[in-house]
Amino acid sequence: MYIIIDTINGAKASAIIYSIAETAKANNLKPYHYFELLLTEIPKHMEDTNLDFLDDLLPWSEKLPVECRKQNQ
């Protein structure tokens, strides 16, 4: 099953992605690197019942890798 933007589910998925990207930008993160981190780390925890690991992945977390952060100029 494909979710495309011109369906209700596609619009919802797009809104979630845009929201994450804009929140990353607002927190001085590089959106591409932030998405890459999320898409590699979250699958590692699919069997976890404790979701505390998500706190470290929030865009304002001090524990995010330096690669995700924009350089101060």
Total number of domains in the chain: 1
Q: Examine residue 2 and state whether it is found in any structural domain, yes or no.
A: no
- The yes-or-no verdict on residue 13 having pLDDT over 90 is no
Other C-beta atoms lying within 10 Å of the C-beta of residue 4: 10
Q: Taking each helix axis from N to C terminus, what angle separates 31-41 and 8-26, rounded to the nearest 10 degrees?
A: 120
36, 42 in Cβ contact below 8 A?
no
Alpha helices in 1-73 (DSSP H): 8-26, 31-41
For 65, half-sphere exposure in the C-beta direction (CA atoms, 13 angstrom radius) is 12
Query: Global pTM?
Result: 0.83
Q: Answer whether residue 28 shows pLDDT above 90.
A: yes
And the tokens for 48? 């976890």
Answer whether residue 48 is part of any domain.
Answer: yes
Range of the domain at 48: 8-68
| Residue 3 located in a structural domain | no
Q: Is 51 domain-assigned?
A: yes
- Section 29-53 average pLDDT: 96
**Per the domain annotation, does 1 fall within a domain?**
no
